[in-house]
Amino acid sequence: MKVAVVGCGALGSFYGAKLCRAGHEVHFLLRSDYDTVCARGVTIHSVDGNFHVQPICVRVPEAIGLSDLVLIGLKTTANHEFSRLLPPLVGQGTLVVTLQNGLGNEEQLAALLGPDNIMGGLCFVCLNRVEPGLIVHSAHGKIVLGEFQRPPLARTARLAEVVRQAGVTCVVSENLAAAHWEKLVWNIPFNGLGVAGAGGYESVLLGVLSAKTELGPCLPTDALLRDPRWEQLARDLMCEVVTVARAKGFAIPNTVVEEQIARTRVMSDYKASTLLDFERGLPLEMESMFMEPLRQARATGVAAPRLAALCTVLAALETRNVNRVPMSG
């Protein structure tokens, strides 16, 4: 397949490199990392074995042209770039798969490109981009693949098999929207509380960040699960997300909270992407990962006080953060 990777951070680089290693014609659309990746390629340091690939590097989408598959690994804060980056890559038969977090991304793509060839890939993986062209993969890696607003098609199974042949566990979801909510069961507490931990436990519990609050460090996954107070907040948030999903008609299994907690314990001191963005002074993915789920909770009439408090604190922290010198890391 001819594959265009748009958004070559940790996520796009990792899965793009897997497809490149499997023999596909993979193009990386790059900005600041262009010179380094062009010269040195992409190196993956993985628990499953290290490897190196040399994708085709370009600066503009027109240099790639129409593709069979477009993988979108952009942060959702960059979704306003869709209209500039995607049309040169997308023809009538192009599959467009967003690997992004949260809600609303497929809808934005469908509004621009039409709904027929839009898919979502939910990535359950621990990755960090430690420098240009170097990705560290510390745990997991599964993709849950689904069609936008329709059940799986024959092409869904074919693409899933392509992904499996590249060495990635891939399962097909019967309902992409339900799968999004199941992933939010993890994303909201461990991305959100990890950042909100910089403002302290009481701030998150009460939903109030004082202007005098001295900001501390973000909390990686092991710190959240080591402290009973933070672990209980994480569980409360997870239960709220499950309740909202069920109110929307999605059959989230009863076992999901304990399964997600158990999966998180093996991640050690993993810092989810939102923590790294905060530490670097970058915008948080507030809309897709936190605010839209809260809006949908309210629309269903489900009380979600922990999620509401978390959104308030995260918004205040993001405002405070723009006035700080970005930290290294």
Q: How many CB atoms lie within 10 A of CB 211?
A: 6
Report how far residue 209's alpha carbon sits from residue 201's, in angstroms, rounded to the nearest whole number. 10
Question: Which residues pair with residue 125 across a beta bridge?
Answer: 140
Q: Which of 154, 152, 70 is nearest to 109 (CA)?
A: 70
**In sequence order, what E strands does 94-244 have?**
95-98, 118-131, 134-147, 170-172
Under 8 Å between Cβ of 218 and 278: yes
**In sequence order, what E strands does the chain have?**
2-6, 25-29, 42-46, 51-53, 56-58, 69-72, 95-98, 118-131, 134-147, 170-172
Query: What are the phi and psi torsion angles at 223 (to 5°)?
Result: -65, -40
Task: Please enumerate in sequence order all residues whose Cβ is within 8 A of that of 107, keeping only pairs 6 or more positions apart, or say none.
Answer: none
Q: Which two tokens stand for residue 317?
A: 């922290």
Question: Which residues pair with residue 69 across a beta bridge?
Answer: 3, 95
Q: Given the residues 18, 75, 183, 271, select the one marked as catalytic.
A: 183
Is 142 an annotated catalytic residue?
Answer: no
Cα-Cα end-to-end distance for the chain = 35
Report how far residue 96's alpha carbon sits from residue 72's, in angstroms, rounded to the nearest whole number. 8
Report how far residue 114's alpha carbon sits from residue 273's, in angstroms, rounded to the nearest whole number. 29
Please report which helix (H) or strand (E) contains residue 186, including its range: helix 176-196
Report how far residue 260's alpha carbon sits from residue 225's, in angstroms, rounded to the nearest whole number. 12
Report how far residue 99's alpha carbon sits from residue 119's, in angstroms, rounded to the nearest whole number. 9
Report how far residue 280's alpha carbon sits from residue 215's, in angstroms, rounded to the nearest whole number. 14
Beta strand pairing status for 118-131 and 134-147? Answer: antiparallel
* Alpha-helical regions (H) of 248-290: 256-265, 273-279, 286
- Catalytic residue IDs: 183
